[in-house]
C-alpha cells in the first residue's frame, strides 16, 4: 500500500505517533488509508449538506475494511459570485481544487480517494485531480436541487435572473420578483436545471468515474445517502483490483462523454472542462471533434434552460443510464470502456430503460438529428467559439446585426438595463476571457436580462468570456483567441455587422481583411481588471479557452 510509506517500519514511529495524536489506533493504521475530500461549506447551497454525504462515504469505507480520513477543499457558488468582482474567482478555483487534492493525497501517501463535489468548478477540479494523481478514486456528488411549481411554471435559479430582467422592462412587479426569489431554490443541492454543475455531475457517470445515479438522484433523497455508502465500499474494491482513474478516463471514455453531452444538451462550460480533464489524463480533445460528434448525435433531452424539464424529471425518466443505453442501441457509444463499478459501461447500462419519452426522447424521435452544442468558426473566432444550440430559438439560428461593443460585462449589463439594446443587435462583450478577465467570468445577468425583456429571439450575444449553464438564447462564448491575446474580437468596432449561422457553424465579422489589418496597427489591449493576487498569477499561466483554459508554466 502507498500508505506504508508513512506507517510501516521502525523509522515511521514519528509518523505513527502523529496519526495516533489524531486518535487513530494501530488497527486503523493497519488498514488502507482512504482520503475523503469534502467540499462542504456554509455558503454554497449545493454544498451545505455534504457532511451528510461524507458521513455516509466514511461508513461505506469502514464497512469494507478501510480507514477513512476526511479533508476539505473550497467551493465557489457561481450564482452568488455572478455579476460582480467575485466571478473572476470562479473558473480559477478549478485549478486550486485540483492542486489542494493533489497536495493532500501526495503529502500523506493516501491509498485511494473518494471525492465529494457538487457545483460548477468543483466537479471538474476533482476529476482533474483524480486523473493527475491516478490512485483508485470514486466521485460521489451531493445531488441536484428540486424544482417546484409556482406561478404555473417549474422554477429554478434562472427564473429569478430573468425575473429581474422582466422587472427592469416593466413586465413584472417587485412583489412578483420576491415571490420568485422565495420559491426558485427550495432545497439544498446543485441548481435544478441542466446547468454546468448538473452537466458535469451527469458526465461523471458517463466518463465512468461516478456510480449510476450520481448525476440525477436529488440531493434530499435518501437514495443519495445510500449511493454515498456504496461509493465508500466501491473504492475499496477498486483498490483491491488496482483500477485507477487513467484506466477509466480513456480517449473512448471522453468520446462517450461528448456524445452524451450532445444528447442531453449540457452546458457550454462542459467544452471548457472536458478538455481540461482529458489533458490531465493524457488525452487530447480538439474542438473540431466536438462538431464531428455533435453532427452524428441526436439531441434527446431539452432540460432547463433549453426546455421545461429539470434534473428530477430526468431522474424519474430513467436518468443518464437510460440515455446512454438508448445511444448504445444506436451504436453511438463505446460500450467496452471501464467504470468505477468494475464493469464495462455496456454492462452497467444494459438494463436501463426510458420511463418517460416526454423527457428522454428515443433515437427515432429526437428533438433534432444533431447535438445540443455547436462550435462556430470564422474571422472573429479563428480558433472557435461555442453555443448551446439546444437553448437557441430556431429564429436565431441565422442572424445578422450591428455590433454593440463593450469592454466588460458590467458595461454591457448597464446598457441592457438602460434600454440601449434593441432588436437585431449583436452584443459583443470582450476582455472577459481566461487571461483578459482575468478568469473568464460567467455571464448569466446579461443573458437573463435579454430574455427577461423578451429579446432573446431577437438579440445575439458573443464574448471571449463564457455563459452560465443556465443561459438560453443565442449566447456564443469562448471566442478564441481572446481580445487580451490579440484576438480579432478585440478589433470589432461599434456598428460593424456580424453574421451568425449556427447550423453552418460560422460566425463572420463583415469587415474586410485590409480594414482589420489597419485596425491591428493601432490595437492596444485593455489591461486586466485585477493585477494582484492569485487571479493575476493565473492570468500569466492560463491558455486559450479553446484548450479548456488549462495552465502552462
Closest CA to 306 of 473, 146, 168: 473
DSSP string, 378-410: ETTEEEEEEE-GGGS-GGGSEEEEEEEEESSHH
Burial of 512: CB neighbours in 10 Å, binned 0-12, 13-18, 19+: exposed
Q: What residues does 501 pair with on adjacent strands?
A: 398, 506
Burial of 82: CB neighbours in 10 Å, binned 0-12, 13-18, 19+: buried
Cell of 81: 459570485
Question: Are the C-beta atoms of 357 and 300 separated by less than 8 Å?
Answer: no
Question: Are the C-beta atoms of 337 and 248 separated by less than 8 Å?
Answer: yes
The Cα 311–Cα 174 span in angstroms is 29
Given the residues 192, 267, 445, 468, select the one marked as catalytic: 468
CA distances (Å), origin 168, targets 13, 159, 270, 363: 67, 14, 31, 42
CA distances (Å), origin 396, targets 392, 423, 430, 489: 7, 12, 21, 21
Q: Is 199 a catalytic residue?
A: no
DSSP string, 139-166: E----BPP--EETTEE--HHHHHHHHHH
Q: What residues does 139 pair with on adjacent strands?
A: 115, 210
The Cα 158–Cα 181 span in angstroms is 10
> What's the half-sphere exposure (Cβ side, CA atoms, 13 Å) at 458?
10
Burial of 501: CB neighbours in 10 Å, binned 0-12, 13-18, 19+: middle
Strand ranges, E, within 142-231: 149-150, 153-154
What residues are annotated to the active site? 468
Amino acid at each position: 500500500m502507498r500508505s506504508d510509506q508513512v506507517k510501516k517500519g521502525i523509522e515511521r514511529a514519528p509518523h505513527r505517533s502523529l496519526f495516533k495524536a489524531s486518535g487513530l489506533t494501530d488497527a486503523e493504521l493497519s488498514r488502507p488509508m482512504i482520503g475523503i475530500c469534502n467540499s462542504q461549506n456554509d455558503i454554497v447551497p449545493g454544498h451545505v449538506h455534504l457532511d451528510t454525504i461524507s458521513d455516509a462515504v466514511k461508513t461505506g469505507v469502514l464497512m469494507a475494511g478501510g480507514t477513512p480520513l476526511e479533508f476539505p477543499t473550497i467551493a465557489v457558488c457561481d450564482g452568488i459570485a455572478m455579476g460582480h468582482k467575485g466571478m473572476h474567482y470562479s473558473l480559477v478555483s478549478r485549478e486550486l481544487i485540483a492542486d489542494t487534492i493533489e497536495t493532500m493525497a501526495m503529502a500523506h501517501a493516501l491509498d485511494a480517494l473518494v471525492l465529494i463535489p457538487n457545483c460548477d468548478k468543483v466537479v471538474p477540479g476533482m476529476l482533474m485531480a483524480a486523473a493527475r494523481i491516478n490512485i483508485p478514486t470514486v466521485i460521489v456528488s451531493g445531488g441536484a436541487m428540486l424544482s417546484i411549481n409556482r406561478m404555473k411554471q417549474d422554477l429554478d435559479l434562472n427564473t429569478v435572473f430573468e425575473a429581474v430582467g422582466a422587472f427592469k422592462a416593466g413586465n413584472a412587479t417587485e412583489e412578483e420578483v420576491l415571490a420568485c426569489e422565495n420559491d426558485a431554490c427550495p432545497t439544498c443541492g446543485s441548481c435544478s436545471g441542466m446547468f454546468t454543475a448538473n452537466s458535469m455531475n451527469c458526465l461523471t457517470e458517463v466518463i465512468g468515474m461516478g456510480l449510476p445515479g450520481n448525476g440525477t438522484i436529488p440531493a434530499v433523497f435518501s437514495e443519495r445517502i445510500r449511493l454515498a455508502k456504496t461509493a465508500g465500499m466501491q473504492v475499496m474494491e477498486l483498490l483491491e483490483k488496482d483500477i485507477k482513474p487513467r484506466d477509466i478516463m480513456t480517449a473512448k471514455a471522453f468520446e462517450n462523454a461528448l456524445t452524451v453531452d450532445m444528447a442531453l444538451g449540457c452546458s457550454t462550460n462542459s467544452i471548457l472542462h472536458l478538455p481540461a480533464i482529458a489533458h490531465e489524463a493524457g488525452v487530447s480533445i480538439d474542438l473540431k471533434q466536438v462538431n464531428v460528434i455533435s453532427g452524428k448525435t441526436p439531441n434527446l433531452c431539452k432540460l432547463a434552460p433549453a426546455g421545461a424539464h429539470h434534473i428530477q424529471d430526468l431522474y424519474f425518466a430513467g436518468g443518464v443510464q437510460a440515455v446512454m443505453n438508448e445511444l448504445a442501441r444506436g451504436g453511438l457509444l463505446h460500450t467496452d470502456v471501464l467504470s468505477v463499478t468494475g464493469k464495462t459501461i455496456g454492462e452497467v447500462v444494459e438494463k436501463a430503460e426510458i420511463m418517460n419519452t416526454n423527457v428522454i426522447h428515443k433515437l427515432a424521435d429526437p428533438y433534432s438529428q444533431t447535438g445540443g452544442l455547436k462550435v462556430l468558426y470564422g474571422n472573429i473566432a479563428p480558433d472557435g467559439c461555442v453555443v448551446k444550440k439546444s437553448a437557441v430559438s430556431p429564429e436565431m439560428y441565422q442572424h445578422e446585426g450591428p455590433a454593440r461593443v463593450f469592454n466588460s460585462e458590467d458595461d454591457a449589463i448597464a446598457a441592457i438595463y438602460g434600454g440601449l439594446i434593441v432588436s437585431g443587435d449583436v452584443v459583443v462583450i470582450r476582455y472577459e476571457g481566461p487571461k483578459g478577465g482575468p478568469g473568464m467570468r460567467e455571464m448569466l445577468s446579461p443573458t437573463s436580462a435579454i430574455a427577461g425583456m423578451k429579446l432573446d429571439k431577437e438579440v445575439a450575444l458573443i464574448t471571449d468570456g463564457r455563459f452560465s449553464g443556465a443561459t438560453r438564447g443565442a449566447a456564443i462564448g469562448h471566442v478564441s483567441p481572446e481580445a487580451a491575446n490579440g484576438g480579432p474580437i478585440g478589433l470589432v468596432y461599434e456598428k460593424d455587422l456580424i453574421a451568425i449561422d449556427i447550423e453552418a457553424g460560422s460566425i463572420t465579422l463583415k469587415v474586410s481583411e485590409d480594414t482589420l489589418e489597419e485596425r491591428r496597427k493601432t490595437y492596444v489591449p485593455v489591461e486586466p481588471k485585477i493585477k494582484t493576487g492569485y487571479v493575476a498569477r493565473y492570468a500569466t499561466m492560463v491558455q486559450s479557452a479553446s484548450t479548456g483554459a488549462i495552465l502552462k508554466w
